[in-house]
Structure 1
Amino acid sequence: MPQGIAKANLPTKTCPVCERPFTWRKKWARDWEKVVYCSDRCRKTGL
């Protein structure tokens, strides 16, 4: 039996710059509430 959570069940957010959905990543586990942008490129572009 596989361990963990299926990718389809991970939380998602929408990037305000490119308006694409992005999925939770393990490296964002501690800061998921603060994550706004899907990538560095979108973060640098900003709103």
Structure 2
Amino acid sequence: MSKTPKKANLPSKICTVCGRPFVWRKKWQTCWEHVRYCSERCRRNRRSVNH
């Protein structure tokens, strides 16, 4: 059996900038609770949306 979850069972969140849902990625396995943005573009644009 594989240790990685099936794609249908991956956790998801809503991006705080664009409002789109995004799912867990392997590169976020150690910091998933801190991830707030779906992409680097949204992370860079976070200040322009909040003002």
TM-score range, shorter chain: 0.7 to 0.9
Q: Root-mean-square deviation (CA), in Å?
A: 1.2
Larger radius of gyration: 2
Structure 1 runs not aligned, ≥5 long: none
Percent sequence identity over aligned pairs:
57
Runs of 4+ in structure 1 deviating by more than 6 angstroms, as ranges, are none
Structure 2 runs not aligned, ≥5 long: none
TM-score, structure 2 as length reference? 0.81
How many positions carry a matched residue from both structures? Answer: 46
TM-score, structure 1 as length reference? 0.87
